[in-house]
Amino acid sequence: MEDIALCPKFEAAFELLGKRWTGLIIRVMLQGRRRFSDISGMIPHLSDRMLVERLKELEAAEIVTRHVYPDMPIRVEYELTMKGQELAPVLDQVQEWANKWYQTLHH
């Protein structure tokens, strides 16, 4: 049984994307630049603490960038990088699969 060239990239990408809420956060941000409160407002049950954590991970993975505006009070907006936007087909495929098979999806 040859050990097919199992790709660490594949596993790393899956792990990053598979974290709880990450898929939804990226999907919300595919609609454009968002403030923290916009994102948290659109995802019920997502705590602010968890959103802070996920945004940090996504920034570290260069999937999200943060824009800080020196208004009073300062304004912070989050945006998907090109790398983040190119996740759209992945999310679409997951949605398509889930739509077809959802009723048999068990928790």
Query: Which residues of this protein are in contact with a copy of itself, per CB under 8 A?
Result: 1, 3-4, 6-7, 9-24, 27-28, 31, 38, 41-44, 60-62, 83, 86-87, 89-91, 93-102, 104-107
CB of 18 or CB of 70, closer to a copy of itself: 18
C-alpha dihedral (32, 36, 38, 40), degrees to nearest 10: 120
Structure tokens at 27: 């999907």
Task: Report the residue number, 44 or 70, with the smaller CB distance to a copy of itself.
Answer: 44
The DSSP bridge partners found for residue 79 are 65
Q: Shortest Cβ distance from residue 49 to a copy of itself (Å)?
A: 18
The distance of closest approach from Cβ of residue 97 to a copy of itself in the complex, given in angstroms and rounded to an integer, is 6
Which amino acid is it at 88? A
Taking the complex as a whole, the smallest distance from the CB of residue 73 to a copy of itself amounts, in Å, to 19
Cβ at position 26, least distance to a copy of itself in Å:
10
Q: Rounded to 5 degrees, what angle do the CA atoms 14, 17, 19 make? A: 105
User: Cα separation of 46 and 9, whole Å?
Assistant: 28
Copy the structure tokens of residue 14: 């899956």
